[in-house]
A and B are shown apart, each in its own frame.
Chain A
Amino acid sequence: MPWFLWALLFFAFAAQIGFSRSVLPPPEAKAEELHAPPGDAALRLSALGEPPVLARLLMLSLQGYDNQKGVSVPLRNLDYAVVGEWLERIVALDERAEYPHFSAAKIYGVVNDDNRRRLMIEWVWRQFVKAPNERWEWMAFATNLAHYVLKDDKLALAMAVELREKTDPEKVPAWTRQLEIFFRENANEYEAAAEMLSRQLLDGEITDPHEFVFAYDRLEGMLEEMTKRGEIQSREHLARELRKLESLREKYLAQFEELQKGN
């Protein structure tokens, strides 16, 4: 092999290194604005027949927006209306995906900005209505967020009512459907809360011994509260309901004790 070929290889290699180190400008960290997503049709075409795969990749890319190439962008600096649009597109690509709901409730929803929080809570609510028995988990989280973090009792109660009305007792845990009861109790609406809780117990919606005993104790607490407040009529009605539940309570208490022995 002629020697100049080796020389050419060596010089070309050196030139490449020199070019990349000194001629090319070094990469610059620059935060990019989150642009509005393309339309549903464009995304569906780009998916090449695999929308669930594109949904996951888009979700990861959206998730990475707060940590772009070398720059950390606080979540509260993102345009949440656009974030909501992206999440909506992702759900449209794969309706069974949990990732967008999780992100809306537990990542974007817990940002330290009430307006942005509210946008995400409302987003979760809108998505919940489309498939209540599948998306109750995120709705329950967003309801608690509205109540305890956003401190918007009206919004939280409206969401809790929807959570109870739209879900099937056999498909979601009982505590989810009891959020409304607890919110009403916190708002001193003892009569309504007690009525709903005793109805759930009598209808056999709560079958777990732990939950039953907890709910029964709660009812007794409400009874005491009513006595203190002098709500005689409501108190007597609740006392009658509690008497009806007495035998059931005994049964569940026995189960509860057996479970504790087993542990």
Chain B
Amino acid sequence: MRGGYEPQTLFADRAKERKTQTAMTDARSGIAHGAAIAQYTLLEALKNRVLFIALIFTFIGVFAASFVGDVAVIEHKRVEIAVLASSYRFCAVFVMMILVASTIVREFNDKCLELYLSLPISRAMYFAGKLTGFYIAGFALAAVFSAALLLYAPAAAVGAWFASLSCELILMATVTFFCVLTFNQQITSSLTAALFFYLLCRVTDSIVLISKGEILLHTTGSAVIGFVVETLSFVLPSLERFTRSDWLMYSDSAAAFGALPLIVLQTVVYCALVGAAALIDFSRKNI
């Protein structure tokens, strides 16, 4: 007996210490595994030539916008920016969705996922690692398109547009991941669902406004439609407020930066919601 310690207390303390150390080592190795998965996801995105595709779209967009801008009689610059910003936004989201769906489906089909899960990696860590990789790829995509827009609009407005597009890509990457898991890794149905979700989120605000307008007949049917639309607007993110081209067209950086906090908050909240749903589905899957 040393230092007045009872043997049981000493053993209990050491066991507790060992447990804490093991937990910390596990956590450290979990994070390391997650980081490795993120790194390989990013590497795969690069090998899928995502950046190359973005660059090609960037150049095509610049030529197309310059042609359309020449057709305009006035507001040449605004017309060019309108064409460029809206097509870049759609292109970035489309590439992101394809990247997420193809990567996850390939991992399922090539049994890579089974290999990962046979290692001491939790499903949550795999999920987080994958998403982190996609998010970084999203930032890179947004950066390429935003860099091209710097030729047309002030840096402050482009900066806000970049931040908003990054949030939009992060959100859509999470939703596409969820769709792939939910639709049993079927690429066609997953992509269709993700695209439909995206388009619906881009028009939800308009539908709500229309359903509240006076042009609709006040019948039971329209009341039901109004209720459904209103309910939908509660569960869908309002992508109409994200990455707006008019921030760049009118160099309205004040409006853009004013909208950013809500956009970031919406992204965090919705990613948490869809991420949790996806993780529940993923944890219940028999792999």
Residues of A at the B interface (CB closer than 8 Å) are 39, 41, 44-45, 47-50, 52-53, 56-57, 59-60, 63-64, 94, 96-99, 102-103, 107
Contacts and interface: CB of A to CB of B under 8 A. Distances in A.
B246 A41 contact: no
A103 B79 contact: no
A50 B75 contact: no
Pick from B73, B85, B213 the residue with the most CB of A within 10 Å.
Answer: B73
B268 interface: no
B215 interface: yes
Interface stretch (B46-54, B178-186, B201-209, B273-281): B201-209
A49 B75 contact: no
Given A60-B71, A102-B73, 11 more contacts: A41-B206, A45-B206, A48-B202, A52-B245, A53-B85, A56-B83, A57-B82, A57-B83, A96-B246, A103-B73, A107-B73
Given A41-B213, A45-B203, A64-B71, A56 B78 contact: yes
Nearest to A96: B250
Contacts of A56: 72, 75, 78-79, 82-83
Contacts of B245: 50, 52-53
Contacts of B244: 49-50
B215 A39 contact: yes
Interface string B82-106: 1101100000000000000000000
A137 to B, nearest CB: 11
Interface of B is mostly: helix
Nearest to B211: A41
Given A41-B213, A41-B215, A52 B71 contact: no
Nearest to B238: A49
Nearest to B72: A60
5 pairs of A and B residues whose beta carbons are closest in the complex: A49-B240, A49-B202, A53-B82, A53-B86, A52-B246
B78 A63 contact: no
Contacts of A41: 206, 210, 213, 215
Contact of B74 (A44, A47, A49, A99): A99
A96 B82 CA distance: 14
Contact of B82 (A44, A48, A52): A52
Contacts of A97: 75, 78
A56 B202 CA distance: 19
Interface of B: 68, 71-75, 78-79, 82-83, 85-86, 199, 202-203, 205-207, 209-210, 213, 215, 239-241, 244-246, 249-250
Contacts of A59: 72
A47 B207 CA distance: 12
Contacts of A52: 82, 245-246, 249
Given A50-B245, A52-B246, A53-B86, A102 B74 contact: yes
Contacts of B83: 53, 56-57
A111 B269 CA distance: 55
Contacts of B215: 39, 41
Pick from A47, A48, A49, A60 the residue with the most CB of B within 10 Å.
Answer: A49
Nearest to A43: B206
A252 B153 CA distance: 40
A66 B155 CA distance: 38
A223 B246 CA distance: 52
Contacts of A53: 82-83, 85-86, 245
B218 to A, nearest CB: 16
A53 B241 CA distance: 14
A250 to B, nearest CB: 42
A260 to B, nearest CB: 33
B202 to A, nearest CB: 4
A39 B206 CA distance: 13
